[in-house]
């Protein structure tokens, strides 16, 4: 098996230089051979077809705890559950998790929305380091992460996630891909996944392989995807929009210019030790897709990322010091660019390159009075990114953003009560270059400070209660400060304000939690009040740009509130049969005017029956979204919908761990329009469809 590992490593390293597709073929070939399997892994899959393991959140607590021990609300998608829930975008993959909706700018560009907050208020990370792209600038820009090769996604909801920056006031989404191996591995393990069908006629294939000899581990992954224009149940333009402004209802049954092609891959390697690792990885991503809002415009996106990471634990036990017991370092550099092609001609080019890193040290337990022990970490974080938009549709100048911050997080258990407290201080410089279109150079700086206090009280082994109080400050983004131009993707002329101060908010959330073997339940409210919220609001005035009349939208400072609740539960109602219940609601208000804020998801209630016995699985899920009639000025209401989906799966009785599945979506063929989407009235979700897939892991 060792010789097989060496051959696979050499093959993958040489072929990645040529292209991603040859890697994919070589990985799939390797997976087809039983000789590459570690004996232990094979026997495990033969004897256990459905193992429920506790979810461990990488995000939300630097001390590394299970999700039921965390004070902040965290949702985790991994393993088989993530595989069956994957969609083409990160936002749509997470849509439906309590508190999480999506921007859904067609089927190819969708960011998560957490508790009604999006863009710069939701921090998207990859392996704990921020993603550098242009997705927060515009809803038509895709996130530079493909869910096909992600192994786990952590969603931290609420402003208590201050460890990750001021842009985490809504929450954090951390996509984990294990491209840098972090644990010792002796043998080979991995997975493959293939999908065909669906409303977008997709053809997707992905493969992941990890190999090691106990001291050195390598990782390789590759994927390719191709989709056609999305089938939709009726017209792309809603009847409300047609009645409101006379937009013709054409293109019945197809969402024009929604096709996509993409591929990518990565190589990573680590030296692994009993108490740590040192590793690096390289990854690349290509994505070409239609923007939906403009029938002749496509985006050609490329991203390259280099990562370095290391961690050493239990340093005190190794005799290396009695103060620091753990050190973690992460660094990533990204070169991102995309071109917007109008009928094949380059119109505007967006570039964003940057480096982000953090150094985190965990201290040994500090003995306090009455035998109390304090555990925690101290961290440094830095970021330097340079953004440039070149072309006729550039609506922001070239900018450089630099941030430096210090943070700490501490936990203090007191019998049945566990307290947590943390703080973060940050310095941000956001500088715009001189430009003939945007005027002279501009320099602004901010010093945001955030802090949080939380508590988890355990009544008994069934019941617990968690709550968080937080104060959060965020430096305005470069486009909130300096935007001044036509943004055709959203059909607006956007105007920033260079005189903005820090965005400030105070928040509280609470959760009651219950668990009993296979049953669990959690529910609770939250409330966040912004004394200065930066929102993009239409002014009621118009401007003519190249003969096209656009409404002027101004980034405006206001008082605002976001309040709501989240609930989810899982109950074992019979042998091999579980009932899953979910619900969420958010109400967002401009307190300056008393009006609703735009693009807020309505009340949603969901239920699902999940059956699994030996090799056979089946599930039926229903999500009902109520109508959203509480809208902002110049925003149309959204009808409610009921989304019914079903899935059946079968694990083949073979030596390999192979599972076939078929997934039916939108069984009622409803016109599903997400009220959190900027394009809800011109780009509905897909029609009734069937997707077939195969997944294998070892």
pLDDT value for 607: 98
- CA–CA gap between residue 639 and residue 238 (Å, rounded): 10
Question: Parallel, antiparallel, or unpaired for β 171-176 and 122-126?
Answer: parallel
**Which residues, in sequence order, are CB contacts of 14 under 8 Å at separation 6+?**
none
Going by C-alpha positions, the residue among 354, 372, 450 that lies closest to residue 411 is: 372
- Are 338 and 301 in contact by the 8 Å Cβ rule? The answer is yes
Going by C-alpha positions, the residue among 568, 472, 563, 443 that lies closest to residue 512 is: 568
How crowded is the C-beta side of 569, counted as CA atoms within 13 Å? Answer: 20
**Cα 466 off chain centre by:** 24
The residues facing 216 across adjacent strands are 271
The pTM score is: 0.90
pLDDT value for 169: 87
- Are 20 and 264 in contact by the 8 Å Cβ rule? The answer is yes
Going by C-alpha positions, the residue among 623, 616, 697, 599 that lies closest to residue 651 is: 616
- CA–CA gap between residue 119 and residue 110 (Å, rounded): 11
pLDDT value for 692: 97
3-state secondary structure of 26: helix
pLDDT value for 323: 86
- Are 314 and 328 in contact by the 8 Å Cβ rule? The answer is no
- CA–CA gap between residue 10 and residue 14 (Å, rounded): 6
Going by C-alpha positions, the residue among 530, 528, 480 that lies closest to residue 508 is: 528
In order of 9, 293, 443, the CA distances from 23 in angstroms are 11, 35, 46
3-state secondary structure of 78: strand
Can you read off the two tokens belonging to residue 83?
């595989």
**Which residues, in sequence order, are CB contacts of 296 under 8 Å at separation 6+?**
257, 342, 343
φ, ψ at 565 (rounded to 5°): -145, 160
pLDDT value for 316: 74
3-state secondary structure of 656: coil
What is the residue-wise DSSP string for 134-149? STTT-TTSPPS--GGG
pLDDT value for 294: 86
Domain CATH for 216: 2.40.170.20
Going by C-alpha positions, the residue among 393, 365, 369 that lies closest to residue 377 is: 365
- Are 216 and 652 in contact by the 8 Å Cβ rule? The answer is no
Can you read off the two tokens belonging to residue 345?
């001609």
How many separate domains does the chain show? 1
The residues facing 320 across adjacent strands are none
Polymer length in residues for the chain: 698
**Which residues, in sequence order, are CB contacts of 191 under 8 Å at separation 6+?**
207, 208, 695, 696, 697, 698
Going by C-alpha positions, the residue among 409, 405, 456, 412 that lies closest to residue 427 is: 405
Can you read off the two tokens belonging to residue 350?
């967006």
- CA–CA gap between residue 72 and residue 455 (Å, rounded): 9
In order of 87, 506, 556, the CA distances from 476 in angstroms are 31, 17, 11
Residue 695 CB-density burial (10 A; 0-12 exposed, 13-18 middle, 19+ buried): buried
- Are 649 and 664 in contact by the 8 Å Cβ rule? The answer is no
- CA–CA gap between residue 575 and residue 566 (Å, rounded): 28
Can you read off the two tokens belonging to residue 340?
């917007």
Residues of the chain with pLDDT under 50: 1-54
Can you read off the two tokens belonging to residue 246?
């006379």
Can you read off the two tokens belonging to residue 522?
């959690």
Residue 645 CB-density burial (10 A; 0-12 exposed, 13-18 middle, 19+ buried): middle
Cα Rg of the chain (Å, integer): 25
- Are 41 and 202 in contact by the 8 Å Cβ rule? The answer is no
pLDDT value for 539: 85
pLDDT value for 97: 94
pLDDT value for 48: 37
Q: What is the pLDDT of residues 90-110, one digit of tens each?
A: 999 999 999 999 999 999 999
3-state secondary structure of 163: helix
- Are 132 and 353 in contact by the 8 Å Cβ rule? The answer is yes
Give residue 518's domain range.
Answer: 2-697
* E strand residue ranges, 517-547: 519-545
């Amino acid at each position: 098996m060792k010789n097989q590992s060496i051959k696979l490593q050499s093959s993958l390293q040489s072929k990645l230089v040529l292209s991603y597709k040859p890697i994919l073929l070589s990985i799939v070939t390797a997976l087809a051979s039983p000789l590459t399997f570690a004996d232990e892994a094979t026997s495990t899959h033969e004897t256990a077809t459905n193992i429920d393991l506790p979810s461990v959140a990488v995000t939300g607590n630097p001390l590394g705890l299970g999700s039921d021990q965390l004070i902040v609300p965290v949702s985790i998608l991994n393993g088989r559950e993530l595989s069956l829930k994957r969609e083409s975008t990160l936002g749509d993959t997470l849509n439906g998790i309590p508190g999480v909706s999506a921007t859904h700018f067609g089927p190819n560009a969708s960011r998560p929305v957490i508790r009604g907050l999006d863009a710069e208020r939701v921090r998207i990370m990859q392996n704990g380091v921020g993603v550098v792209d242009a997705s927060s600038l515009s809803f038509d820009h895709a996130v530079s992460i493909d869910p096909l090769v992600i192994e786990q996604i952590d969603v931290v909801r609420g402003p208590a996630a201050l460890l990750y920056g001021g842009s985490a006031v809504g929450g954090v989404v951390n996509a984990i891909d294990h491209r840098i191996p972090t644990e010792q591995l002796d043998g080979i393990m991995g997975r493959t996944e293939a999908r065909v069908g669906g409303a977008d006629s997709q053809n997707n294939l992905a493969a992941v392989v990890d190999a090691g000899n106990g001291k050195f581990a390598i990782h390789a992954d590759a994927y390719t995807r191709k989709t056609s224009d999305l089938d939709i149940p009726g017209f792309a333009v809603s009847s409300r929009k047609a009645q409101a402004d006379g937009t013709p209802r054409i293109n019945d049954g197809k969402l024009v210019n929604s096709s996509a092609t993409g591929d990518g891959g990565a190589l990573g390697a680590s030296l692994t030790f009993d108490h740590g690792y040192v590793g690096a990885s390289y990854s690349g991503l290509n994505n070409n897709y239609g923007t939906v809002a403009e029938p002749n415009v496509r985006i050609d996106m490329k991203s390259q990322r280099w990562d370095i990471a290391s961690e050493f634990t239990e340093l005190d036990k190794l005799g290396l010091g009695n103060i620091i017991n753990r050190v973690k370092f992460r660094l990533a550099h990204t070169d991102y660019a995309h071109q917007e092609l109008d009928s094949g001609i380059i119109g505007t080019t967006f570039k964003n390159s940057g480096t982000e890193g953090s150094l985190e040290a965990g201290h040994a337990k500090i003995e306090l009075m009455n035998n109390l022990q304090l555990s925690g970490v101290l961290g440094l974080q830095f970021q330097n990114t340079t953004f440039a938009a070149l072309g006729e549709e550039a609506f922001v100048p070239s900018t450089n953003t630099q941030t430096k911050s210090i943070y700490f997080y501490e936990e203090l258990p007191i019998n049945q009560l566990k307290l947590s407290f943390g703080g973060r201080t940050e310095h941000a410089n956001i500088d715009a270059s001189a430009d003939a279109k945007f005027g002279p150079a501009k320099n602004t700086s901010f010093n945001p400070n955030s802090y949080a206090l939380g508590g988890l009280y355990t009544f008994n082994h069934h019941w617990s209660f968690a709550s968080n109080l937080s104060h959060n400050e965020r430096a305005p983004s470069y486009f909130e400060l300096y935007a001044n131009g036509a943004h055709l993707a959203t059909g607006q002329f956007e105007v920033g304000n260079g005189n903005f101060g820090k965005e400030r908010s105070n928040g509280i959330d609470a959760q009651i939690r219950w668990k009993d073997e296979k049953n669990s339940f959690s529910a609770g409210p939250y409330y966040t009040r912004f004394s200065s919220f930066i929102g993009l609001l239409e002014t009621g005035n118009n401007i003519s740009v190249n003969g096209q009349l656009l409404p002027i939208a101004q980034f405006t400072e206001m008082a605002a509130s976001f309040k709501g609740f989240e609930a989810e539960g899982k109950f074992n109602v019979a042998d091999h049969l579980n009932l899953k219940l979910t619900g969420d609601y958010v109400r967002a208000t401009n307190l300056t005017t008393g009006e609703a804020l735009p693009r807020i998801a309505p009340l949603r209630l969901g239920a699902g029956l999940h059956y699994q016995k030996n090799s056979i699985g089946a599930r039926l899920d229903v999500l009902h979204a109520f109508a959203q009639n509480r809208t902002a000025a110049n925003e149309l209401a959204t009808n409610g919908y009921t989304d019914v989906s079903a899935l059946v799966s079968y694990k083949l009785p073979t030596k390999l761990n192979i599972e076939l599945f078929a997934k039916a979506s939108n069984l009622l063929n409803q016109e599903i329009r997400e009220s959190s989407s900027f394009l809800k009235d011109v780009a509905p979700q897909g029609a009734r469809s069937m997707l077939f897939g195969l997944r294998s892991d070892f």
